[in-house]
Amino acid sequence: VHQNLGQVLLEQQRYAEAARHFEKSLSAAGQGSAGDVTGQMSASLARIGLGRIARDQNRLEEAEAHFSAAVRTLEKLIPGSRDHRVLLNLAIAYSRMGDVSRLRGKPVAALNFYSRALPITDELIAVDSRNAVAMSARAECLSRIALVEEGRGNFGVALKHYRDALGVDEQLAQRDAVADVARAGSCGVLPDGGGGWGARGVGCVGDGAGAAGLCHGTGEVRRSESAAGGGCGTIRGEPV
C-alpha cells in the first residue's frame, strides 16, 4: 500500500509525501528475512522511487546512492530467479543510473548503464513480443543513448538511435490504436481523440513516471490521464 501511494504522489510531484510512503515501504521490506524475494523486490522499488525524487530535485549524489542500492539488490536476485519483474526492474534501475551519470556530466558511464539495460529489454521482448513495458523501456534507453551521443557530437550514431526509438514508439502507437478500436467496439463508444499514449510514456517508463511503477505488473497497459512530460500509461496490476 505504501509503495502504491508513494508512486501516485510521485506522479503528482508531491515529493515530501511520496518520500514518506517509500520510506515506510522500505522499512517494512527490511523487516523480512534474507531469503524473502518479495521483500527484497519491495525494497528495490522503494529505493527507485526515492532515487527518482532525489534526481528530480537535483540531489544527484543521493539519487545515485538509492539507484545503486536497488541495482545491488536486484542483481543478487537474478541468479536464483528469471522472474520478468526482477529483470525489468533491474533494466529500469540501470537506466536510472544512466540518467544520473548523464546529468553529472559523465557520458561514458551513462552509456555503459544504458547499454546494460538494453539486452535485458531485448530478452524480455524475445520471450513476449507483446510486453509493452519492456518495449517502452527499450525505447527510453535508445533515446537516452541518442541524447548522450548527440551531446558528444556523434550525430550519425545519435540519429540511428533516435530512429530505432521512434520505431519502437510507432509499434506501441499502433497497438494503442488497435486497443482503442477494440474498446470502442466493446463499450459502444468512440475512442477519445488526441492520443496521449506517446511511446515513451507508455508503461510508466519515462521521466514523468517511475521505474518503480514497472514492476509487479503483467505487462499489459491501460489508458490513463497522467501529466505531460512522461508517463502516459500505467501498468495494470501493479505497484509502486
Q: Are 51 and 97 in contact (CB under 8 A)?
A: no
Residues 125/138, Cβ–Cβ less than 8 Å: yes
DSSP 59-108: -HHHHHHHHHHHHHHHHHHGGG---HHHHHHHHHHHHHHHHHHHHTT-HH
Who wins on pLDDT, 132 or 234? 132
Q: What is the pTM of this model?
A: 0.73
Contact 212, 240 (CB under 8 A): yes
pLDDT at 181: 65
pLDDT digit string, tens, across residues 183-218: 555 444 333 333 222 333 323 333 433 343 444 333
The amino acid at residue 15 is Y
pLDDT band (50, 70, 90) for residue 29: confident
Alpha-carbon separation of residue 146 from 57, 159, 213 (angstroms): 24, 7, 24
Residue 149 predicted with pLDDT over 80: yes
Confidence (pLDDT) at 229: 31
Q: Lowest-confidence range among 11-15, 70-74, 172-176?
A: 172-176
Does residue 231 have a pLDDT over 50? no
**Treating both helix axes as pointing N-terminal to C-terminal, what angle do 2-11 and 37-56 enclose, rounded to 10 degrees?**
20
Task: Give the CA angle between residues 152, 207, 74 to the nearest 5°.
Answer: 90
> For the segment 121-143, what is each residue's pLDDT rounded down to a tens digit?
999 999 998 889 999 999 999 99
pLDDT of residue 80: 62
Contacts of 210 (CB under 8 A, 6+ apart): 7, 10, 11, 48, 49, 52, 204, 231, 240
Per-residue model confidence (pLDDT) at position 35: 62
Span 26-46, mean pLDDT? 79
pLDDT the model gives residue 54:
96
Cβ neighbours of residue 68 under 8 Å, at least 6 residues apart? Answer: 97
Rounded mean pLDDT, 50-69: 96
Q: In this model, does residue 220 exceed pLDDT 70?
A: no
pLDDT per residue as tens digits for the range 178-189? 766 665 554 443
- pLDDT score at 112: 97
C-alpha cell at 127: 520471450
CA 207 vs. chain centroid, Å, equals 8
Q: What pLDDT was estimated at residue 82?
A: 66
